[in-house]
Chains A and B, each alone.
Chain A
Amino acid sequence: MLYWLVGSCWAEDFSPWLEEFQPSSLSQQQQIEELRWFKQAAQPYQGITIRAISERINTHWYEATVIAPLFYQLTGIKVIHEISGEDDVVKKLQSQMDLGINYYDIYVSDSDLIGGHFRSRNIVNLSQFMQHQGKDVTLPSLDIDDFIGLAFTTGPYGDLLQLPDQQFANLYWYRQDWFKRPELQQQFQTIYGYPLAVPVNWSAYEDIAEFFTEHVKEIDGQKVYGHMDYGKRDPSLGWRISDAWLSMAGMGDVGLPNGVPVDEWGIRRHGCRPVGASMRRGGALDSPAAIYAIQKYVDWLKRYAPPEAQKMTFSQAGAEIAKGHIAQQIFWYTAFTADLSQPDLAVTDKDGLPLWRVAPSPRGAYWQPGMKSGYQDVGAWTLVKSTPLKRQQAAWLYAQFNVAKTVSLRKTMVGLTPIRQSDVMSKPFSERSAELGGLVEFYQSNARNEWTPTGLNVPNYPALSSLWWQYIGRASDHGEAVPQIMKELAQSMDLALAKIGKDNPGPCSPKLISAQQASLWLAHPGSPKPKLENEKPPGKTLNYSELIKQWQP
């Protein structure tokens, strides 16, 4: 209450907000106009307390600790912005949708759930909301076309279901300072017959991993490893696998943002209807490419990563590369760029500039041009129909405040998870190129369109995603044979798809096609693909500057 009283005394003085939200892509006068609009539009909702929840990354921490209190002071709408684990956010959202109890007024939900959202009819269609019930609380200067992640948050019929709030990608990460050392370059060339540089394919990644772990062993007196990953049987293991391993291996079909008709989960669809994940039903989850992907994941984790990595989770493994003993990581979440740019770390120089770089991740033997190249996470504001309308409207104001042009460039500079083209191309973001190790170049290129989230084929992410870690954990944590595990995983995925379709029938709900001999599907063009005679072609690397040129528009 005290804060609001203070806020009302400011009247038309917007200086606290103008001071915090710098830089901005708007002029000061334009910022004042947006702030004034929020203040006026929020008047009918003053005194309301709304609850929002999002996963725990720097961007959302800034929202919860800086933006939410400022929004309250400006509008009188109090926000309890909770920060939690991603798995917890997913479970709460799913529980609210299933039970119809209003746990939260708005969620920042990964767009990975889009396939379930459009089928469930539990999510507010934002395109319609902005035209009707939410018309008076929709920011005139929202500029939807300026958002770079709309393809991931739009349903199959062209309606916007979620509004992007933050995006980060999975990119290859490596120690450029080590790769540049002449003695290491010479040693690598002698052993492997090609230059030590950014790996373009998995063969080169594997060679570099082996090189650092088994040949270099120590740098400056410290034990070093050529690879980092994690393997504990835990929900976060599922994301690691379904996010990127299978797509980079090339298991699915050509198509953006997701393979058609078989996506990177190995799920085949007919029209909008998922029809199976096992090869016997035209899927690819137990295909040679999938087995290749998971076998490489398991083998590299055991042979080239620090031994303790096998028992680590996502959050435990995240800090490992900051210790300065890892040479490369096949994919690394750019949401942690800010954390890895601190001047006191072993992976930055005396001026605080990164000794590491990010680049396109290497591709597996089954990958073909036109396929997605990696994973991009898009956290997006999501309204649930079970939330009362007035609370939806108040929450929608808060969501827009977090992405309004008044705020978004400043938020991008803090959390480094850009969502607007105007922010990505802005001078302040461009000027940080040297300190962000390739992140600026990635987002300013068209390549960012090849890094995509889970798509429309996955009809119920919470129900299906738990299968990944339970099965893959048996290979990583318990050492069971990969082909058998993938066979069982594919069968379980089929059964789960069938159950979802039976319990929630609809024109786009899953309906399994009849099982055939896998060999018949393998003879078809596209995914599932027959086993390659040679899954380890010659290693290929490219100089970093050459790779960056490929990214340039």
Chain B
Amino acid sequence: MATLKASCLSASLALSLPAQGVELVFNTYLDPPYVIQNQRGLAGVNIEVYELLKKHSKLDINIRLLPLKRAYLMALESPNNCVFAIERSQARESSFNWISPMYISRYAIYQPQQRITPLSSVADLQQLKIGSYLGSGIGEYLESLGVEVDLAKTNLNSAKKLQRQRTQAWASDILSSAYVHYHYSLGIQKQGFDFYSSLRAIACNKDSDAGALQKLQTSLNQLQKSGKISKILASYEQQYQVDLGL
């Protein structure tokens, strides 16, 4: 456990003591079913994790809903601001202090239902124009493989682009795609081609209070070990009838 902390935070940070009276801001964005806005406010996987974290760490954490790009910039530019939650990647590593991992996200490529030729490897993706959305780590990943990526504003918009044949495939987090299938009929395959996973993490501004971040990491680790976060994910897997293979 301690090694996980040390790998996420710098040594100086790991040795600091938690400061009192620090307010952290979790800048989040709509990403169903991770973050959903309904009549009662915000809900979803991440919101349930946030509530657990807030209660366990006893830190003063507030949540703010923004477009992903703004949430990302807030965390880049403002101390004690975090983006909650994004894909942790090597390219982003040095830009933030990371509280990680919240969980692992699985990704798949979906094609129209009438498509019958199965994809057999990631090499096949290079033949396709694939939709993703702005700020998505998976879009960046596909581009790095030499895939032509079409970025929409949201994951749902990207799915709709596939429906309208503006793209040939749609790259999505598997739980998110299950949510789209559950709520919309877009004529897209239910079973996609699994090809990647990413660690979802809380990315915080590098000048944030070191003690508060250490406390946050400790709480996250303990919640992980207790199985409470896995339980939240499992309930969504059940609700949307999807197997994340965890």
Residues of chain A having any CB pair with chain B under 8 Å: 2-3, 49, 51, 53, 61, 64-66, 68-69, 80, 82-88, 91-92, 94-95, 98-104, 116, 232-236, 460, 462-463, 466-467, 469-470, 473, 492, 495-496, 499-500, 502-504
Shortest distance from the beta carbon of B86 to any chain A beta carbon, whole Å: 14
Out of B2, B94, B122, name the residue touching A233 (CB < 8 Å). Answer: B94
Interface size counted on chain B using CB atoms at 8 A: 38
**Minimum C-beta distance from B120 to chain A (A):** 5
Q: Which A-chain residue is minimally distant from B243 (CB atoms)?
A: A49
Q: How far is the CA of A124 from the CA of B121 in the complex (A)?
A: 28
Contact assessment for B4 and A470 in the assembled complex, using a CB-CB cutoff below 8 Å:
no
**By the criterion CB–CB under 8 Å, are B88 and A460 in contact?**
no
- Considering the complex, give the chain B residue whose CB is closest to the CB of A464: B6
CB-based contact A66/B225 at 8 Å: no
**B93 on interface, CB distance cutoff 8 Å:** yes
Are A87 and B90 in contact, with the CB atoms below 8 A? yes
| Whole-angstrom CA separation of A442 from B198 in the bound complex | 37
Contact between chains at B3 and A500 (CB < 8 Å): yes
Please list 30 pairs of residues, one from A and one from B, whose beta carbons are closer than 8 Å in the complex, sorted by A's number: A49-B245, A51-B245, A64-B123, A82-B195, A83-B122, A85-B89, A88-B89, A92-B197, A94-B3, A95-B100, A95-B104, A99-B4, A102-B246, A103-B246, A234-B93, A235-B90, A235-B94, A236-B90, A460-B3, A462-B3, A463-B6, A466-B10, A469-B94, A470-B10, A473-B94, A495-B11, A496-B14, A500-B2, A503-B1, A503-B3
B1 touches A98 (CB 8 A): yes
B196 with A460: CB separation less than 8 A:
no
> Can you name the residue of chain B whose Cβ is closest to the Cβ of A120?
B3
| Beyond A85-B89, A98-B1, A234-B90, 17 additional pairs, beta carbon < 8 A | A61-B123, A82-B196, A83-B122, A85-B90, A88-B198, A88-B199, A91-B101, A92-B199, A99-B4, A99-B221, A100-B225, A466-B6, A466-B7, A495-B11, A496-B11, A499-B2, A503-B3
Residues on the B chain within 8 Å of A467, using CB? 10-11
User: In the complex, what distance in Å separates the CA atom of A83 from the CA atom of B225?
Assistant: 27
Q: Hey, what's the 0/1 contact readout for B1-40 against A, CB within 8 Å counting as 1?
A: 1111011001110110000000000000000000000000
Contacts of A234 in B (CB 8 A): 90, 93-94
Instruction: Give which listed residue, A69, A86, A232, A470, contacts B121 with CB less than 8 A.
Output: A69
Check A95–B6 contact: CB distance below 8 A.
no
**Are B197 and A98 in contact, CB atoms less than 8 angstroms apart?**
no
Would you give the shortest CB distance from B234 to chain A, in whole angstroms? 12
Contacts of A86 in B (CB 8 A): 90
B194 touches A80 (CB 8 A): yes
Are B197 and A82 within 8 A (Cβ)?
Answer: yes
A91 and B122 contact, Cβ closer than 8 Å, known pairs A460-B3, A466-B10: no
Residue B118 lies at the interface, judged by CB distance under 8 Å to chain A: yes
Q: Is the CB of B6 within 8 A of A500?
A: yes
- Knowing A101-B230, A235-B94, A460-B6 are in contact, say whether A68-B121 is a contact too (CB < 8 A): yes
Contacts of A466 in B (CB 8 A): 6-7, 10
Cβ contacts under 8 Å, A3 to chain B: 118, 120
Q: What's the minimum C-beta distance from B106 to chain A, rounded to whole angstroms?
A: 9
Contact B14 A499 (CB under 8 A): yes
Shortest distance between the CB of B43 and any CB in chain A (Å): 24
- Cβ contact within 8 Å between A462 and B195: no
Cα separation A116 to B7 with both chains bound (whole Å): 13
